[in-house]
Amino acid sequence: MNIGVDAHILGKGKGGAERYVAELCHRLPRLAPEDSFYFFINKAYKPLDQPANVCWIRLTISDPLIQRSLILPLLISKFKLDLIHTQRIAPLWSRCPVIVSIHDILPLTEPNDYVGLRHMLIRALTGWTSKRARSLLTVSNTVKQEMEENLPSAKGKIKAVYNGVDHAFFSQGKVENRPIEDEYLLYTGAIEPRKNLEILIEAYSEVCSQITRKLTLILAGMTRDQAYAAKLSSLAEKCHQNGRIIFTGFLTEEQYLQYLQSASIFLAPSRGEGFDLPPLEAMACQVPVICSDIPVHRELFNSAALFFLTDSAPDLAKKILTLYKDKELHAKLQRQGTSCAARFSWEQTACQVSRIYRENGAASPAL
């Protein structure tokens, strides 16, 4: 088969969605050497892998909505594709079956966090995509259920395929040099409202008032909402912890591993996620996790993490203090977290996606 994959997100630092696409692009061609893969990438991305059955196609227009709605249909015809796999939005038309990955439907379920014309378009196109696509992939059963409830036309098309963990990378020996000398709590991910970081800062302030040892809070990740980032900085100053809260900005893979390996506790306070990969990667590094009590965290982590009431800074502070002081609980969560992370692998993800390609590919009539 000739298989096209929308990989425009590569190199943009977009977190779990980019990791998902990167892992598929790395693994799928090796799983199906008899197929030809066409990976459609943005102008700035420089691919590292060059398998014989892969062709990297640069998209001349940078806007993702225009890419997926207008440019991909032309490329589908040009390269005579038997299957196209896109992210979130289906092409406006296609001569071949369409598979779409939708990592979450937060723009539909949490519209107050996704305002403006662009998100209005995404909401409308997500509904249209659920009708248009041959198969819809998502990353958890939680999101699958949300899609079935909010997108009636998606029923019967949705397959939950979990994200994975790169165990060879995250289980390697300790990297040299701690990023800072202090003990620290760590959050990694985007700096945006749904990540609930104000609750984290308030809880951290309460924790610092009850311990004598120096404990730093590190918030690592790309800022997607400048106004929200400014609000967090003001809150940190108001809580009198500004000098002990570090905003690192975007981390390279090597920096990310370094911060994970040396963290005392990993914090995942988000109000909404499709999957939430960083807590699993922290578990793979034997770092205990405290996370918000939302359905997808319960689905993925079960007894391998501590859960706090999502909108309660006092409850989060209580959980941090408990884990910080209880060494037996700390060691127990390390063991259970390692076992939890071991259940997820990118090879397994890629194998499932490859099977879905076979089920929906050339043997199926074109759309």
Of residues 257 and 67, which shows the higher confidence score? 257
How far apart (Å, rounded) are the C-alpha atoms in residues 103 and 87?
A: 8
Least confident of 150-154, 157-161, 179-183: 179-183
pLDDT (tens digit, 9 = 90+) per residue, 94-110? 989 999 999 999 999 98
pLDDT of 365 reads: 42
Mean pLDDT value of segment 287-295: 98
Specify whether 124 is located in the same domain as 265.
no
175, 363 contact by CB (below 8 A)? no
Is there a domain that residue 366 lies in? no
Beta strand ranges found along 204-257 (DSSP E)? 215-220, 245-249
pLDDT of 181 reads: 87
Mean pLDDT value of segment 329-342: 97
- The percent of residues above 90 in pLDDT, for the chain, comes to 76
pLDDT (tens digit, 9 = 90+) per residue, 45-88? 988 778 899 999 999 888 887 888 789 999 999 999 999 999 99
Is there a domain that residue 256 lies in? yes
Q: What tokens does 335 get?
A: 């063991």
Q: Kindly compute the dihedral angle of the four CA atoms of residues 19, 22, 25, 27, in this order, to the nearest 10 degrees.
A: -60
pLDDT (tens digit, 9 = 90+) per residue, 222-234? 998 899 999 999 9
Of residues 303 and 68, which shows the higher confidence score? 303
Query: What pTM value is reported for the model?
Result: 0.92
Per-residue CA distances from 29 to 5, 48, 49, 103 (Å):
11, 14, 10, 22
Specify whether 123 is located in the same domain as 263.
no
Mean pLDDT value of segment 261-290: 96
Specify whether 138 is located in the same domain as 265.
no
Is there a domain that residue 288 lies in? yes
Residue 68 DSSP one-character state: I
Q: Which amino acid is at 32?
A: A
pLDDT of 362 reads: 53
Specify whether 351 is located in the same domain as 301.
no
pLDDT of 241 reads: 64
With residue 119 as reference, give the H or E element that holds it.
helix 117-132
Mean pLDDT value of segment 9-25: 89
Is there a domain that residue 27 lies in? yes
pLDDT of 70 reads: 84
Domain that holds residue 70: 2-164+346-360
pLDDT (tens digit, 9 = 90+) per residue, 131-158? 999 999 999 999 999 999 999 999 999 9
How far apart (Å, rounded) are the C-alpha atoms in residues 114 and 123?
A: 10
Most confident of 116-130, 209-223, 325-339: 325-339
Residue 258 pLDDT > 90 = yes
Specify whether 194 is located in the same domain as 312.
yes
**Neighbouring-strand partners of residue 55:** 38
pLDDT tier at 213, thresholds 50, 70, 90: confident
The phi-psi region of residue 163 (left if phi > 0; otherwise alpha if psi is between -120 and 50; otherwise beta) is beta
Specify whether 227 is located in the same domain as 139.
no
- How many domains is the chain partitioned into structurally? 2
Which CATH number characterizes residue 23's domain? 3.40.50.2000
pLDDT of 35 reads: 96
Specify whether 38 is located in the same domain as 109.
yes
Is there a domain that residue 365 lies in? no
Residue 367 pLDDT > 60 = no
Chain-centre distance for alpha carbon 96: 28
Specify whether 333 is located in the same domain as 191.
yes
Q: Which amino acid is at 72?
A: L
Specify whether 10 is located in the same domain as 159.
yes
Specify whether 13 is located in the same domain as 130.
yes
Residue 333 pLDDT > 50 = yes
Least confident of 1-15, 28-42, 217-231, 284-298: 1-15
Residue 189 pLDDT > 90 = yes
Specify whether 172 is located in the same domain as 112.
no
Q: What tokens does 76 get?
A: 């589908």
